[in-house]
Amino acid sequence: QQQVKQSPQSLIVQKGGISIINCAYENTAFDYFPWYQQFPGKGPALLIAIRPDVSEKKEGRFTISFNKSAKQFSLHIMDSQPGDSATYFCAASKGNFNKFYFGSGTKLNVKP
Amino acid sequence: EAQVTQNPRYLITVTGKKLTVTCSQNMNHEYMSWYRQDPGLGLRQIYYSMNVEVTDKGDVPEGYKVSRKEKRNFPLILESPSPNQTSLYFCASSHNYGYTFGSGTRLTVV
């Protein structure tokens, strides 16, 4: 049973558009929610993360929106660029940062 | 440069032939972990280590072994590989708030 469910599996966005990737979780003990970005042939790299005491976190063109009551969080990429084309993973952890549960990944393709 | 180094990057082996994938980090991190990545399943944790000589099972430990004799190294051992262990493997280390991943090892077991 997957602890974190991610959608969509793939996403095509035009350059300049907004990319939105959604994740949902069940375990209310989760208290840290990172997003990872993975380019082909590379390992995932931490992109942005949020804790449940805030509803939104923004870093440049990347924003996490967090809805604690719905147990959902999402990644928004504003003004999407072809260089953003990658696979994105959401994740969640509880208490210690050694154990992360990952979503199934979203392959984003930004068309020029 | 802070990094996690895995070797080899690519490996093709036959069923039953023992193999080891090495992992080394230069960040003095206490926590290290192994994940496998499969299409549609995301990243699943195989084993993790909280410090030297302290290891524990993740979500998919069957068929794998690990050891942590030194802080910087965390090798993954497949004693008798099987085709269902064909996957992309990542080693990672962490020091609060997230992982630094290696570049991956693509393993094919025929």
- Percent of chain B exceeding pLDDT 90 equals 87
Q: What pLDDT is recorded for position A2? A: 77
Say if the Cβ atoms of A100 and B45 lie within 8 Å.
Answer: yes
Backbone dihedral angles phi then psi of residue B7, each to the nearest 5 degrees = -150, 145
**Mean predicted lDDT score pLDDT of chain B:** 94
Decide the pairing of beta strands A45-50 and A33-38.
antiparallel
Whether the CB-CB separation of B79 and B96 falls below 8 Å is answered with: no
List of chain A residues with pLDDT < 50: none
| pLDDT of res. B1 | 83
Average the pLDDT over B74-101 and give the result: 93
Neighbours of B60 (CB within 10 A): 18
| Tens digits of residue pLDDT in B39-86 | 888 899 999 999 999 999 999 999 999 999 999 999 999 999 999 999
- Chain A residues within 8 A of B102 when measuring between CB atoms: 43
Judge: B103–A34 Cβ closer than 8 Å, yes or no.
no
Could you tell me how many residues make up chain A?
112
Q: How does DSSP assign chain B, residue by residue? A: ---EEEE-SEEEE-TT--EEEEEEESS--SEEEEEEEETTTEEEEEEEEEETTEEEE-S--TT-EE--SSSSB--EEESS--GGG-EEEEEEEESSS-EEE---EEEEE-
Mean pLDDT of B1-20: 95
Question: What's the pLDDT at B98?
Answer: 79
Nearest to A34, CA basis, from A59, A15, A9, A60: A59
Q: Does B3 touch chain A (CB under 8 A)?
A: no
Which residue among A9, A98, A102 places its CB closest to the CB of B43? Answer: A102
> Is there a contact between A90 and A23 (Cβ–Cβ < 8 Å)?
yes
